[in-house]
Amino acid sequence: MAHHEHQHSTEADESTQLALLDLDAEVLHEHLSEITASLRRLAEPPVRRVLDLGSGSGTGTFTLLDGFEEATAIAVDASAPMLEHLSEQAAARGASDRVSTVQADLDESFPRLDGPVDLVWASASMHHLADPARVLSEVFAAVRPGGLLAVAELEGFPRFLPDDLGFGRPGFEERCHELLAAKRAEHLPHISGDWGKLLAEAGFTVAADRTFDIHLPAPVSAATARYAEVSLRRMQPFLAARLDADDVATLDTLLADGPGGVLHRDDLTVRTTRTFLAATRP
């Protein structure tokens, strides 16, 4: 699960996004494994065809293939580089025969499928849709009776930093998150959507609805520090244009290869909230 804002991105953006998605899955692998275990309990067998909507780098695709050993997966994404990366990963895993890719923008058209699917996975992708109700109705039509839809959403960008960094003004990360929340509210109106209601209106029966408050304490792993660094670097252009000069200097220090930089701090944590819903087609 991760942030899928790559529909109109540059090659550099794509590279950063790939790194962020892979790091998100690595750092929060226990959370992803817990969700996969829930799906195995809830899914009505057999699960032989999986549809991953907004597949990104494929972390969800491969987690599901590991969890459902008899399944094949159809990975759908708007980004050709993402799908190319996913295909390369499938080949490296010896799973090319289990994965097919479809480039599609769900706001324009739902992918054509050769028959119904048993499980649909949509991680951090539904909130990007202009009309999620329409897409959910198309998902309902694509799932076989007794099939399962899983929706995983994030409540916002993860938090990593202490309130007092030892330089700059306290509360730096909170000020950044206020700016990011305003941006998301403007451009992503469904980020805090009532997914249970939307799923029910599409015809699904909600079988699980959980909120995970994730907290990984300090000290964190090198991969987690890299996760924080890539996250901040991805947000840097937006934040640098809106923060005051003191906070821009703080951001530059955090991203520099110095003692105050996130890659060298021993006080990083990870705090994030994720929502998970699973629903069946009657």
> Tens digit of pLDDT for each residue in 142-182?
999 999 999 999 888 899 999 999 999 999 999 999 999 88
Query: What is the reported pLDDT for 7?
Result: 39
pLDDT tens, residue by residue, 257-278: 999 999 999 999 999 999 999 9
Query: What is the reported pLDDT for 11?
Result: 62
Task: Give dist(CA 185, CA 54) in Å, integer.
Answer: 20
Query: What's the mean pLDDT in 173-201?
Result: 83
Query: What's the mean pLDDT in 130-149?
Result: 96
pLDDT tens, residue by residue, 8-29: 455 667 788 899 999 999 999 9
Residue 106: pLDDT over 60: yes
Task: Give dist(CA 221, CA 206) in Å, integer.
Answer: 36
Evaluate whether 131 touches 103 at the Cβ level (below 8 Å): no
Residue 25's φ and ψ, nearest 5 degrees, are -65, -40
Please give the structure tokens belonging to residue 53.
């909507």
**Full-prediction pTM beyond 0.85?**
yes
Give me the domains of the chain, ranges plus CATH numbers: 11-165+189-220+271-280 (3.40.50.150)
For 19, other C-beta atoms within 10 Å of its C-beta total: 18
Mean pLDDT of the chain: 92
Query: What is the reported pLDDT for 1?
Result: 38
Query: What is the reported pLDDT for 189?
Result: 54
Query: What is the reported pLDDT for 229?
Result: 97
- State the angle between helix axes of 11-27 and 29-42 in degrees (0 to 180), rounded to the nearest 10: 70
Q: How confident is the model at residue 6 (pLDDT cuts 50, 70, 90)?
A: very low
Query: What is the reported pLDDT for 154?
Result: 85
Task: Give dist(CA 163, CA 166) in Å, integer.
Answer: 9
